[in-house]
Amino acid sequence: MRLLECVILLLVAVTAPGVVLSRDPKRQVVTLSFYGLICALMFFIFQAPDVALSQITVGAVMLPLMILLTLTKLRRQNLRREREREK
């Protein structure tokens, strides 16, 4: 059990800088989602299944989704502005 705890803590420690170091926002969303899953696993291993359940859906689905939708909107806005400038 102790070993499992160490492994999952190490995984969290590795994936967290991974999120920060992936500079492209689109890739960052994917790493963030993965990090959310790892966090959920950590909560589960540390015997907090309640928190793990909400972390899975909020951290691994909802948060990345909202960032992705924002990115879509920004990209479209930029495209439109560029097109207007060309005119």
Q: Which residues bind another protein (CB under 8 A)?
A: 49-50, 53-54, 57-58, 61-62, 65-66, 69-70, 72-73, 76-77, 80
Q: Which of 62, 12, 57 is nearest to 35 (CA)?
A: 12
Of residues 14 and 74, the one with the C-beta less far from another protein: 74
Min dist. Cβ of residue 73 to another protein (A): 5
Min dist. Cβ of residue 14 to another protein (A): 19
- Cβ atoms within 10 A of the Cβ of 38, count? 19
CA distance 26 to 1: 36
